[in-house]
Structure 1
Amino acid sequence: MTLHLKTKITAVGPDVADLAEGGVLILFADGSPAELAEVSVLHRVEGEAAQTAPTVGTAIKVGDVSAEITAIGEKAWAKVLDIGHVVIKFTGASTTETPGEIAASEVDGAALTAALKEGADIIIGA
């Protein structure tokens, strides 16, 4: 399986825990505007992100929390490549609500929140 993205968490916004408890994770590359950083996990990509988008069934790992992609919006991967931004909803949905989001299998909200620490890796793929 292809490694699509390996990124390291550099900061966790003060409002991230509330969203993560509900299974929503918002990623933005370092340097995002302050108002977005409040609800986002800021990250720095290690190496280069794959040019091809991941597909349904691709693994997502956030620290020690594992899931699989269940749907991917048509613009989600382009936003990852362009500005390092994506919304991942761990709901198990088979479709996305917006073209810029990724849906993934359900995870425990408390475990997801606990995994969101500075220095932790987020890996999509291999």
Structure 2
Amino acid sequence: MHYYKTVISEVGPEVRDLLEGGVLILYADGAPPELAEVSVLHRAEQLHPEAPRAGSQLRIGEVSAFVTAVGPTAWNKVNEMGHVVINFNGSSTAERPGEICAQPVDTDALLAWIRSGTVIEIVDV
């Protein structure tokens, strides 16, 4: 099952610095400028009403990681405004209610895929 499928449209100038700290912020196209600076802007193509669960697979281009935790409000924010914080810390508990945690990934490999046109998906495996 596809929980989520979106396409990157624009990458804010501060995304690289945040990603080096293991954090990726997604916002739907049209985000206010101060949020766009730190975000990957995207346009969702597919969105399931049910939140993904731990063990689902997050794919960004050819980089993939298992989801390890989903905060209680994370999926509501995805549905309402296309916003989510992905923390590549491998935590089994989301520290903040609006975040999705995933396994750590190779930052350089991920950065290579953070560009306009790249597909981001969360799928059940």
Relative to the length of structure 2, the TM-score reads: 0.96
Match of 1:74 in 2: 72
1:28 corresponds to 2:27: yes
Match of 1:105 in 2: 103
Identity over aligned residues, as a percent?
55
By how many angstroms is 1:109 displaced? 1.2
The one-letter code of the counterpart of 2:114 is L
Match of 2:13 in 1: 14
Task: Give, in whole Å, the separation in 2 of the partners of 1:20 and 1:62.
Answer: 13
Contact 1:21 1:112 in 2 (8 A): no
Task: Give, in whole Å, the separation in 2 of the partners of 1:12 and 1:49.
Answer: 21
Q: How many residues align?
A: 124
Contact 1:23 1:112 in 2 (8 A): no
1:53 corresponds to 2:84: no
Give 4+ residue runs of structure 1 displaced > 6 Å after superposition: none
Unmatched 5+ stretches in structure 2: none
Unmatched 5+ stretches in structure 1: none
Task: Let me know the Cα RMSD of the aligned residues.
Answer: 0.8
Question: What is the DSSP-based 3-state SS (H/G/I as helix, E as strand, rest coil) of the residue aligned with 1:94?
Answer: coil
The one-letter code of the counterpart of 2:22 is G
Relative to the length of structure 1, the TM-score reads: 0.96
Match of 2:43 in 1: 44
The one-letter code of the counterpart of 2:93 is T
Question: What is the DSSP-based 3-state SS (H/G/I as helix, E as strand, rest coil) of the residue aligned with 1:112?
Answer: helix
The one-letter code of the counterpart of 2:28 is A
